[in-house]
Amino acid sequence: MSQPDPYQPDPGIGRSERGVVLAYMATSGAVLLLMMVLGLIMRLDQGELLGMAPDWFYRVLTLHGTGMVGIAGLAGAGIMWYFLRQYVGLSLAVAWANLALFLAGVILIITGIALGGYAGAWTFLYPLPANPMGMWDTGGAASFLVGLLIIGVGFLLLHLDCARAIIARYGSLGRALGWPQLFGRNDGKAPDAAVVASTMVLIVNTLGLVSGAAIVVMSLINLYFPAFQVDPLLAKNLIYFFGHVFINATIYMAVIAVYHLLPRYTGRPWPSSNKAFLGAWTASTVMVIIVYPHHLLMDFVQPQWMLVMGQIISYTSGLPVLAVTAYGAIVNLHRAPIRWDLASALLVLSAFGWAAGIIPAMVDATIVVNQVMHNTLWVPGHFHFYLLLGTIAMALGFMAWMVRTYGGARESGLDQLSFWVYAVGGVGFVGMFLIGGREGTPRRFAEHLSGWIPYDRWASLFAALVIAATAVFVVRFFAGLRRAALTEA
């Protein structure tokens, strides 16, 4: 059996297209590393190995959360853009505009936190931004919120551009989701996985971003005109709908790298024009939208049917991942003549991270469990699982592949070691969050009780390992970046 060659440049991607994608990934990689260090600082502080004043702990928490969510979105968008561009005519200008807006938003957010003292967390739960009790000033909160708004506008533009380009080529979003093949006779000609996934994401993220923008604007008005009030339950629904959709969309974009690159490493196709695949993506489109009430399970006043739906849809949301994407990765990999390198290893890890990360999520979405685990460290445990070992592993794998394919990066003796350090450190790190949750440790606590501290310290050690490995990945990416950007493929 011949060894596949996974390092073939994509013909549909010219130098300028590659440039914008690399800019997305470079920004994400650099910010990722910085935010990870902030994460370690929080863990060290909780473990009493570092003495930080609580107001600074909460500022760091706010920056880490916002920054990580932002770059997960940016990295996912970079991956999506790279593959989708090979099928439809995306606009380069819009892609750059999104990045520029992102950076402008980042500056406002950092200003709001560092100078304005804002520490209301990335979820800015109404009416906290306007009730800081002296911890931040109105301008700080406003700067943060406007920053979010600007970043949201950038992503909205990007998704609208995707919609425009997809409709221009496929005629409608339904066709782009492969509905003729899903609901009719399957002629095997459904759009590529990149198109299906991008369509799903543009639908859910447009709704999410519009809801997010609405509550951001209302919160801004409330900051300056306290008489203008919002129903706190409505605000919560809007915020969690936006937050849930946006953070989930990151992995639905990033997974395109797994669909496209893993088959190049195994030399086996991963067909997407089948009813299981298309059905999974259409079902996910609906489920991502209606599952968000699982964030409100402890809001007893919420209509009960929504909460029950939150639990049930949380369970069914696992099916597409466990039975289609992760399962498909296993089928593609099983006894394949795979070529292992940093990229392929990270992509396989990411399929594991996603599949495994949804288990603690589904457990916590069970109402009776949620009643004793909600807002404990169990929650960061589950989302760091699928973000660190899922979305981010996808992004790092894609980045390694890019600089190898376009930048001539070579394999290094460090690759294998740093891969395993990342994987083991990552599992250990999220494991400590989950154990913290089991022990009842609240999330977002600047100070922990003595019984919780040993886990904080172990987590710090694992986090340091993750950071060391990530530093290797990111440095290697930057080392190959220039050549990857300039080479004529």
Partner 1 sequence: MYQEIAWQASLLGVALIAAVFLYVGLRAGNPADFGPIKRRLYAVRTYWFAFLVALGAWLSVETLADLPYSTTHGEAARPAEITTEVTGHQWYWEMDRTAFPAGTEVAFEVTSADVNHGFAIYNDDDRVVAQTQAMPDYTNVLRHTFREPGTYRVLCLEYCGLAHHKMTQEITVTAPDR
The reply on whether position 394 binds ligand HEM by CB under 6 A is: no
On whether the CB atoms of residues 33 and 396 are closer than 8 A, the answer is no
Min dist CB 431 to ligand HEM, Å, is: 13
Q: State both tokens at 319.
A: 């099916």
Which of 101, 427 has the CB closer to partner 1?
427
**Residues 53-72 as x/- pattern, contact with ligand HEM by CB under 6 A:** --------x--xx--xx--x
Site for ligand HEM in 196-255 (CB under 6 A): none
Which of 263, 440 has the CB closer to ligand HEM?
440
Output b/e per residue, 88-98; b: 16+ Cβ within 10 A.
bebeeebbebb
Min dist CB 455 to ligand HEM, Å, is: 11
Question: In the set 128, 153, 289, 461, which binds partner 1 (CB under 8 A)?
Answer: 128
CA distance 395 to 251: 10
The reply on whether position 119 binds partner 1 by CB under 8 A is: yes
Min dist CB 322 to partner 1, Å, is: 6
CA distance 292 to 159: 21
CA distance 57 to 167: 46
**Residues 73-112 as x/- pattern, contact with partner 1 by CB under 8 A:** ----------------------------------------
Which of 39, 293 has the CB closer to ligand HEM?
39
- 315 contact choice in partner 1, ligand HEM, none (CB below 5 to 8 Å, kind-dependent): partner 1
- Report the sign of the C-alpha dihedral through residues 235, 240, 243, 246, in that order: negative
Min dist CB 60 to ligand HEM, Å, is: 9
β-partners of residue 158 are none
CA-wise closest residue to 317 among 348, 286, 356:
286
Site for partner 1 in 29-58 (CB under 8 A): 54-55, 58
The reply on whether position 458 binds partner 1 by CB under 8 A is: no
**Residues 104-143 as x/- pattern, contact with ligand HEM by CB under 6 A:** -----------------xx---------------------
The reply on whether position 432 binds ligand HEM by CB under 6 A is: no
Site for partner 1 in 278-317 (CB under 8 A): 298-301, 304, 307-308, 311-312, 315-316
The reply on whether position 223 binds partner 1 by CB under 8 A is: no
Question: In the set 26, 27, 28, 39, which binds ligand HEM (CB under 6 A)?
Answer: 39
- 387 contact choice in ligand HEM, partner 1, none (CB below 5 to 8 Å, kind-dependent): ligand HEM
Which of 305, 488 has the CB closer to partner 1?
305
